[in-house]
Amino acid sequence: MYLNDYLDKLKKNKLEESNKPWLTSKIISDEFFNSIFPDEKVEEWKNFNIKSLIGNKLKVLEKNKNLKIEKINRDYNNILFFNNGVFEKCLLEKKLINKINIYKTTEYKKKDKTILKKIYSDAAKYAEKRLSGVSDSKTTKLLSLNALLSEGVVIEIPNDTVIDNQICIYNNISCQNTLVNPYILIIAKENSKTKFLDLTSYNGEENWTNSFYEIYLEKNSNFQMANLSTNQIKNVNTSSYNFHLEKYSRLKFSSINKGNSKKDIRVFLNGENSKTSLKGMLISKHKESNDIFCKVTHNAPNTISNQEWRMLSSDNSKTSLNGKIKILKNAKKSTGSFFSKTLLLSEKAKSFSKPELEIFEDEVSCSHGASFGEIEKEKVFYLQSRGLSKRDAIKYLVLAFINELKLNDDKLNENILSETENLFC
């Protein structure tokens, strides 16, 4: 079914009962049907025009439709396989079965009402708060769309569980011209320690993946997530990550963003002494647009956040980054930093970075900065004088620029190397 037909049908029929209590007729209103896209005037979306990037004849995946599993790249281990946004329980590897629990959101709703109550406690405003922080329902549109079309899963990591090997959330996108809506809720229980690779592997073209991740880190949990996509060319990605940290929990998030991609990352440091490190690389080429909105909210004393970003724009492309550190009243002795560096590889390439601080408490420490530059001729000459060709010297300097970020993930580092090569093809 085409997306437009689906929306027409939805408009005529009454909204079905949803597993997301906030998805009410108030949100799925006339405004939603007029346009499913966020308003470009809203801060988070002004650098990424999703409407212009996706085709008119976009299809939707209907619920419970059986999808053929076409390809699994066996370079990855400990796989949780999502086939075009739908979790394939039958492919769950045995070594993971006894360590983590996976539920459909409807099942989990029955199992643990408290967590869902916690998540959806303020149903009417939930979507607005989590997505924008401002009262603008337009920013909830993609979340609403996701919720309408995806059942979603809950991944629960039990108390005290320690898994040393990286778990791979393998999003296989094999359809064509389709809107795919992964929805994943992860609950890392107390004292757990896990590492995830969030991989989106595109085997189809002209798709739009609209993903939502809701991640809760309970007291003293330690959580790492590396985010990566492969073969993204000719596909568009919008994704939203919301991390909620309780006391003494730790989050390390690293990401490589390429192609036409928009990420909305929110971290809420709700518990005392919680800490996060966010690192990412934005790479754009041809006419691509690559955008990140990343906001960290310090909501408790002694919380720490560090953001470090690198942007690489080539050809006629654009990278953009809106970063915000918000320190609320009561978050005394908190520390936040945001830094970005951009390397422009062509005269027509564009980049935008806007670091912001919003501080409502004394006795805090915050720093932010953004820099932009081109390949320095002096450096190219130095390398040439040591035998590297001009082209290799420039490649080497790009690599140096990326290496400075020190992403501690082998898959991400491998991918960055091949992406750097691709920039020079």
Residues forming the site for another protein (CB under 8 A)? 377-379, 381-390, 392-393, 396-397, 399-404
Closer of 300 and 398 to another protein (Cβ): 398
Name the phi and psi angles at 348, rounded to 5: -90, -10
Name the phi and psi angles at 60, rounded to 5: -115, 150
Are the C-beta atoms of 239 and 266 separated by less than 8 Å? no
Closer of 1 and 400 to another protein (Cβ): 400
Closer of 354 and 379 to another protein (Cβ): 379
Smallest separation (angstroms) from another protein to the CB of 346: 19
Closer of 77 and 384 to another protein (Cβ): 384
Name the phi and psi angles at 148, rounded to 5: -65, -35
Smallest separation (angstroms) from another protein to the CB of 310: 10
Closer of 50 and 394 to another protein (Cβ): 394
Q: Beta partners for 147?
A: none
Q: Which residues contact 87 (CB under 8 A, 6 or more apart)?
A: 80, 81, 102, 104, 153
Helix (H) or strand (E) holding 95: helix 94-97
Are the C-beta atoms of 376 and 343 separated by less than 8 Å? no
Closer of 365 and 403 to another protein (Cβ): 403
Smallest separation (angstroms) from another protein to the CB of 376: 8
Specify the amino acid at residue 380: V
Rounded CA-CA distance 395/412 in Å is 18
Closer of 109 and 279 to another protein (Cβ): 279
Smallest separation (angstroms) from another protein to the CB of 389: 5
Closest among 288, 157, 300 to 221, alpha carbons compared: 157
Smallest separation (angstroms) from another protein to the CB of 337: 18
Q: Which residues of 17-50 are buried (b: 16+ CB within 10 A; e: fewer)?
A: ebbbbbbeeebbeeebeeebbbeeeebbbebbeb
Smallest separation (angstroms) from another protein to the CB of 399: 7
Smallest separation (angstroms) from another protein to the CB of 419: 15
Smallest separation (angstroms) from another protein to the CB of 374: 14
Closer of 381 and 424 to another protein (Cβ): 381
Are the C-beta atoms of 268 and 243 separated by less than 8 Å? yes
